[in-house]
Chains A and B, each alone.
Chain A
Amino acid sequence: MTRGDADSSRARVGPVAPVLELHGVRAGYGQIEVLHGVDLSVAAGEVLALFGPNGAGKTTTLGVCSGQIRPSAGSVRLMGTMVNGARPHALARAGVCLIPEGRGIFPNLTVRENLRMATYSGVAYARVEERAFEQFPRLAERRTQLAGTLSGGEQQMLAISRGLATDPALLLLDELSMGLAPMIVAELYERVGEMAAAGLSILIVEQFAQSVLGVADRAAVMLGGRVQQVGEPESIAAALGGAYLDGH
């Protein structure tokens, strides 16, 4: 059986071994529990969008997935393996790539040095740089500039180029659109869509549903530390207005 066969058969059969699976995850900060039992799964090659108002626990969920927050109960499985309590750098090297909220870049490093940090994933620097610059030619022009001096959109491009250039097993995106003009957000998600089409598994956390509708296969709504609803992105997004502006 060739590799291509294996891939296509997996795609036909559907999500048998989810890339990411959370079961009854409880977690929080100190004594404050934020997640009160989160169940969530991302199948191989799937793009799941997670919506919810502020304070619903979206970022905390990503923190658990990336190893930054240790769950107090429940299980986190990565491709079937329990990874509760694994440390972030170990998970990162195992292929979990989180692009955190609010520019996941090092402002006092240059663009190249930022990309250099991505080589901890095991991908050679030349390849990281090549793919990053291919996807975002604007970054190539600014390779020796300090990342902190880039515009917001460019910073975000730099941040996701780590996810796009290092072949992660799972990409976690936290509020990519925050503080960016809609046009730039559209461009960023276009790239994300291309990666999704190539078979990358992605969990997207967003407050603004509209921007990810074209990319997501499924969507979920989080409220009060629990996943309330999972379904078609369009129907979920339609119900969101109520969740944000009425609190129900």
Chain B
Amino acid sequence: MSPNASDAVGRAERRDTAADVPRRRRTPVPVRQAVVLSGLAVGAVVVSAASWAGTPVTVGNVGGMVVVGLSLGAIYAVSASGLVVVYTTTGVFNFAQGAVGMYWAFVYWELRVNRGWPAPVALALVVLVLAPLGGVLLDRAVMRRLRNLPLVLQLMVTVGLMVAFMGIAATQWQGDRGRTVLPFFGHTGSFEVIGVTVTWHRLITILVAAAIALLLRLLLFRARLGVAMRAVVDSRSLAALNGANGEAVSATAWAIGSSLAAVAGILIAPESQLVVDVLTLVVIDAFAAAAVGRMRSLPWTFAGALLLGVGQQFIRRFLSFDDGFANMHEALPTILLFVVVILLPQAQLRARGVSAQLARRTLRLTDVKESTVGVAALFMLVLAWTGGTLPFTDAWSSVGINRGVTMMVTAIIMLSLVPLTGWAGQVSFAPLAFAGVGAVIFAKITGDTGSAYGLVLAAALTAPVGALMALPAVRLQGLYLALASMAFARGFELLFFTQTAVIDPNRGGRQFAPLSIGGWELTGTGRGYLLALTVVFGAMVTGLVALRRSRWGRRWVAMKDSEAAAATLGINVIETKVAVFVLSAAMAGFGGALFGLQVGTLNVLQFELLVGLPIVLLLVVGGVSLPAAALFGGVNTVLFIVIKDRWDYSWLSALEVLGPGIMAVVMVLNPAGAVAEIGRGFARFLPWRADARAAYAAEVAANREPEPGELGLSRPFTAADMVATERALSVANELARPGHDGAAAAMTVERPAP
């Protein structure tokens, strides 16, 4: 309850006598929601009618749909309820919920299948011991430090955790290989009820979910610990005033969340195969279910999950879509997530105060001159590289050049997030979706003629797509925006890039002719292309540096710091947000076109959500508000590939995923970003940064305490040292005097007369 509302509760006491009952002015929100919902219902019916597969509606079919749907929904519900319990009690939204479940499913499989443990023992060990311990460990090591960080960093760290878990599992078990996990009672164990076949596994799944629902209910409403968990949701500080230990409550929530993730992972593995990506993406289903419960209500979360499961089975059994929409059942959670986000009421502009941001070190802005110098240095370096003067044998081979191109293209796509996330504070996990749109547009328009206008068009035509994603963003803030962007990226992956009209999977060969600019021909893998990309990247960096110093840059940063205050200055918050989304999409689209030119042939896999996450993470690790961080991100992306390539150890096999994930998690320790730290260290070597040298000297001086042995020997003994020594000696004398308690003397303070 907000302080205002709680005031109002009391205020009403005296109002009871007042006769006036003010009329409501605004249209009640439910009307709008009802309109949207009925529109969607009509849409669903129309789609269903149009795509009806002709499956006979028999008891067997409908019953089968319900049983399979409920068992799937039950798994989503278990995972989502872990998400909700953790989010409500700790305030951290765990994007890694699916990945955690995936990891424990692998551990279970390892024990059960590889080591041949009996199922009950393996199950008990994983679900009741290892997973809860892992949850507590995560809370202690990472999550506890997240509580007071800005939301962007909170989200990035849990996404980092998700990617890291994928990396760990892939390293440990080569998880992209398809494996089947036996259901608890073998493959075929099943029985039949009124013509509906029910496998034991599905029955067990449904029963387990029901039992978990019951246990959670009992815990949260009967046990004092559970009551304390709900109390923490209302007010963490008041719970502490009652004597409940908030840290212990949080740790319990993480233990429960982790355990529920494990249960969900183990239950779904036999249904979906034991594959890292597939199990990790269960989290999207969990998001959608939790969003139905507004991230708070467990009953609604369960309802959302069951609806989702049955809905997916309905699509699979009764509808048939063209090839392009063949993933419709997989896309259902994405669609549901988007619908819920649209139905949410408008977030109110609210004055929040800046106390949370106080006392943070702020960065000096790079100026255009510095950026130009830096970019020139980069260009010289790349020139030396392509000229073969760098002392790495393979750097200028065709493989090396191609990696350089990958580095630059990645860095350019990363740049698109600098104004959006770094300055305007809008989280987006969808840069690759925009890049994909840009690549497709370029391929369609001028890809085969090599005309450079196509690049411009790719940027210009991707921009409106950015406005499309801004639609939920302008209404919502923070977490829901992040979820919407994830749903957006996943939706594009499943429903847009799969269209043959968009990317034709049967079309082989290069879709991109060499780019021709003013008589120059640039193939997507050549040295000229790498040099051109370096110039383009440099120009974009310098442009961004100038933009950050312009009124638009200031306005975006101002809006991030306080939307309410920005609006009271006359800033149209909606217009300003849409503008930055449009800019970001255009930049990503441009980068995507350059990517297309490099790879030559487009396919669906290039623009998947999960492929995009490491890109976002590496930029954030570098420091998302700095254009230079994009170079850091690009370099690291390639570095991981190079390392993996060079040293063929099995523990490096998933480095390109593991690396960014772990780096993002470690970011908790240094939220400012790596580039800022590096910059602070290097600045004093730049001839024009006298200020940095002065700051460094001051820091060194502050860290140096005079030690008795070094006085007058390693450095001159100054008057200040003399005074300090004098004082130290007199204090020592005071304390040495017998019968004198120096500390007590210092504590004696005048007390007010009683």
A residues sitting closer than 8 Å to B (CB atoms) are: 15, 23-24, 29-31, 39-41, 66-68, 75, 87-89, 92-93, 97-98, 100, 102-109, 113, 116-121, 148, 151-153, 155-156, 162, 178-181, 184, 218, 220, 227, 230
A108: nearest residue on chain B (CB-CB)?
Answer: B234
CB contacts (< 8 Å) of A98 on chain B: these are 241
Q: Does B233 contact A (CB under 8 A)?
A: yes
15 residue pairs of the A-B complex, CB under 8 angstroms, read A15-B754, A23-B751, A31-B358, A39-B750, A68-B240, A108-B234, A109-B230, A113-B230, A117-B231, A118-B242, A152-B11, A156-B10, A178-B10, A179-B11, A220-B752
**Residues B10 and A152 in contact, CB atoms below 8 Å apart:** yes
* Chain B contacts for A220, CB-based, 8 A: 752
**Count of CB-CB pairs between chains A and B under 8 Å:** 127
A178 CB contacts on chain B under 8 angstroms: 7, 10
Q: Is the CB of B224 within 8 A of A184?
A: no
Contact B355 A30 (CB under 8 A): yes
Cβ-defined contact, A179 with B752, below 8 A: no
Are A39 and B239 in touch, CB under 8 angstroms? no
B1 touches A89 (CB 8 A): no
Contact of B13 (CB < 8 Å), options: A29, A87, A181: A181
**CB < 8 Å: which of B13, B238, B240, B359 contacts A152?**
B13
B701 within 8 A of A: no
CB < 8 Å neighbour of A103 from B6, B244, B359? B6
Determine if A109 and B750 form an interchain contact, defined as CB atoms under 8 angstroms apart.
no
Asked whether B243 is an interface residue with its Cβ less than 8 Å from the other chain, the reply is yes
Q: Which of B11, B14, B243 contacts A120 (CB 8 A)?
A: B243
Q: Distance (Å) between the CB of B380 and the closest chain A CB?
A: 45
| Smallest CB gap from A183: residue in B | B13
Give the distance to chain A from B656, nearest Cβ to Cβ, in Å.
41
By a CB distance below 8 angstroms, the chain A residues around B245 are 89
Which residues does chain B contribute within 8 Å of A151, judged by CB atoms?
9, 12-13
Given contacts A89-B244, A148-B1, A227-B752, A109 and B227 within 8 Å (CB-CB): yes
Q: Please, what's the 1-or-0 string for B223-256, where 1 marks a CB less than 8 Å from any CB in chain A?
A: 0100110110111011111111110000000000
Given the complex of chains A and B, what is the CA–CA distance between A117 and B232 in angstroms?
11
Q: Which residue of A lies closest to B751 (CB)?
A: A39
Contacts of A113 in B (CB 8 A): 221, 227, 230-231
Quick check: A117 and B239 within 8 Å, CB to CB? yes
Cα–Cα distance between A156 and B6 once the two chains are bound (Å): 11
Q: B194 an interface residue at 8 Å Cβ cutoff?
A: no
Task: Assess whether A100 is in contact with B241, with CB atoms less than 8 Å apart.
Answer: yes
Given contacts A87-B240, A109-B234, A117-B227, contact A230 B754 (CB under 8 A): yes
Min C-beta distance of B87 to chain A, whole Å: 15
Q: How far is the CB of A195 from chain B (nearest CB, A)?
A: 18
B719 at the interface (CB under 8 A from A): no
Distance in angstroms from B56 CB to nearest chain A CB is 48
Are A100 and B238 touching (Cβ within 8 A)?
yes
Residues of chain B lying within 8 A (CB to CB) of residue A179: 7, 9-11, 13
Contacts of B713 in A (CB 8 A): none
**Minimum C-beta distance from A181 to chain B (A):** 5
In the assembled complex, how far is the CB of residue A187 from the closest CB belonging to chain B, in whole angstroms?
A: 12
Pick from B6, B234, B237: contact of A102, CB under 8 Å: B6
A24 to B751 Cα, complex, angstroms = 9
Collect the chain A residues with CB atoms within 8 Å of residue B747's CB. 23, 75
Which chain A residues lie closer than 8 Å to B241 at the CB level?
66, 68, 88-89, 92, 97-98, 100, 104
> Is the pair A31, B242 in contact by a Cβ cutoff of 8 Å?
no
Shortest Cβ distance from residue B633 to the other chain A in the assembled complex, whole angstroms: 32
- Name the distance in Å between A54's Cβ and chain B's nearest Cβ: 14
> How far, in Å, is B721 (CB) from chain A's closest CB?
27
Name B's interface SS.
helix
Task: Assess the B749–A39 pair: CB atoms within 8 A.
Answer: yes
Interface residue B753 (Cβ < 8 Å from any Cβ of A): yes
Pick from A23, A30, A93, A230: contact of B243, CB below 8 A: A93
Q: A109 — which chain B residues lie within 8 A by C-beta?
A: 227, 230-231, 234
Q: Does B28 contact A (CB under 8 A)?
A: no
Least CB separation from A231: chain B residue: B753
CA distance A92 to B242 in the complex (A): 6
Check if A104 sits within 8 Å of B238, measured CB to CB: yes
Query: Which of B3, B11, B749, B752 has the most A CB atoms < 10 Å from its CB?
Result: B752
Q: How far apart are the CA atoms of A109 and B242 in the complex, in Å? A: 14
Shortest CB-to-CB span from B741 to chain A, Å, is 15
A103 B242 Cβ-Cβ under 8 A: no
Residue of B nearest to A37 (CB): B749
A153 to B14, CA, bound (A): 11
Q: Which of B237, B243, B244 has the most CB of A within 10 A?
A: B243
> In the complex, what's the smallest C-beta–C-beta distance from A33 to chain B, in angstroms?
13
Q: For B246, list chain A residues within 8 Å (CB).
A: 89
Contact indicator B752/A39 (Cβ below 8 Å): yes
Contacts of B9 in A (CB 8 A): 103, 151-152, 155, 179
Q: Are B237 and A88 in contact (CB under 8 A)?
A: yes
Within B1-52, the residues touching A (CB, 8 Å) are 1, 3, 6-7, 9-14
A119 CA / B235 CA spacing, docked (Å): 17
Q: Which residues of A contact B359 (CB under 8 A)?
A: 30-31
9 additional A-B pairs beyond A89-B245, A151-B12, beta carbons within 8 Å, are A39-B750, A100-B241, A103-B9, A106-B231, A121-B243, A148-B1, A179-B11, A184-B13, A227-B752
CB of B4, distance to nearest CB on chain A (Å): 10
Q: Which of A88, A103, A181, A218 contacts B14 (CB 8 A)?
A: A181
Q: Which of B332-379 contact A (CB under 8 A)?
A: 355, 358-359
A161: min CB distance to chain B, Å = 12
| Contact status B749-A23, CB under 8 Å | yes
Q: Is the CB of A106 within 8 A of B234?
A: yes
5 pairs of A and B residues whose beta carbons are closest in the complex: A179-B10, A120-B243, A152-B10, A92-B243, A88-B240
Q: Write the nearest CB–CB distance from A209 to chain B, whole angstroms.
A: 18
Q: Are A152 and B12 in contact (CB under 8 A)?
A: yes
Which residues from chain B contact A156 at a C-beta distance below 8 Å? 10
Given A89-B245, A92-B241, residue A116 in contact with residue B224 (CB < 8 A): yes
Minimum distance in angstroms from B116 CB to a CB of chain A:
46
Bound-state Cα–Cα, A232 to B246, Å = 40
**CA gap between A97 and B233 in the complex, in Å:** 20
Docked pose: A67 CA to B752 CA in angstroms: 23
